[in-house]
């Protein structure tokens, strides 16, 4: 058994090399170089997320053990930089200020198929499903969603109906909203 000691932890910044939600672990590459850093799903869940997108920037606390370097705490996650063409046509004409002012709504994932690249969520109190595209998920810093998972999202009316423009895990949205109210 490995005993984690937060006093000996180092704080580092890096990029998520890959994260496999099914196996609940992945690796981070430190900006300072060195060996890959194990990022276990439990550490990510303590931050309030169950997945993280490949290429996301993270600030983490690490500890060196006889089994290698591992993350023991996540301080921040920034979604990966958008790739060329990743912006959906539906968002090209959306005023970014208006989008930022659209409230986060509590929702539950109806289904999401990573291979197909999309899925749907139900916003509490709304009859119409909200379309969730994989690029929106990735731009939100997430890699996958599970049916029944609690999330919060910002939805806009697109050409084909309601679409998620941003999506967050429920725990993360709660902590972000609390931080905003406290400041």
pLDDT bin (cut points 50, 70, 90) of residue 179 is: very low
**Runs of H (alpha helix) within 27-74:** 41-47
Contact 139, 82 (CB under 8 A): yes
Kindly report the pTM of this predicted structure.
0.66
Question: Side-chain half-sphere of 149: how many Cα atoms within 13 Å?
Answer: 23
Residue 183 pLDDT class (50, 70, 90 cuts): very low
**2-16, 41-55, 69-83, 102-116: lowest mean pLDDT where?**
2-16
Nearest to 31 by CA among 16, 14, 44: 14
| Structural domains present in the chain | 6-78 (2.40.50.140), 89-182 (2.40.50.140)
3-state secondary structure of 180: helix
- Mean predicted confidence (pLDDT) in 35-55: 90
pLDDT digits (tens, 9 = 90+) for 71-80: 999 999 988 8
pLDDT tens string 134-149: 888 888 888 888 889 8
Q: Are 111 and 120 in contact (CB under 8 A)?
A: yes
How high is the pLDDT of residue 131? 94
CB-count exposure of residue 8 (10 Å: 0-12, 13-18, 19+):
exposed
180 pLDDT more than 50: no
Are 123 and 105 in contact by the 8 Å Cβ rule? The answer is yes
């Amino acid at each position: 058994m490995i005993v984690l000691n937060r006093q000996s932890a180092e704080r580092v910044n890096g990029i998520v090399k890959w994260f496999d939600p099914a196996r609940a672990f992945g690796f981070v590459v430190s900006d300072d170089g060195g060996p890959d850093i194990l990022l276990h799903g439990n550490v990510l869940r303590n931050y309030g997320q169950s997945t993280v997108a490949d290429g996301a920037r993270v600030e983490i606390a690490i500890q060196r053990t006889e089994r290698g370097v591992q993350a023991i705490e996540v301080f921040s996650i920034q979604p990966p930089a958008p790739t060329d063409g990743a912006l959906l046509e539906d968002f090209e004409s959306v005023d970014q200020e208006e989008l930022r002012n659209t409230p986060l709504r509590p929702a539950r994932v109806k289904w999401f198929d990573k291979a197909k690249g999309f899925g749907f969520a139900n916003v509490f109190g709304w009859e119409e499903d909200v379309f969730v595209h994989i690029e929106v998920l990735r731009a939100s810093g997430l890699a996958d969603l599970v049916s029944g998972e609690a999330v919060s999202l910002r939805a806009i009316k697109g050409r084909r109906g309601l679409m998620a423009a941003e999506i967050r895990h429920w725990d993360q949205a709660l902590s972000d909203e609390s931080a905003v109210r406290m400041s």
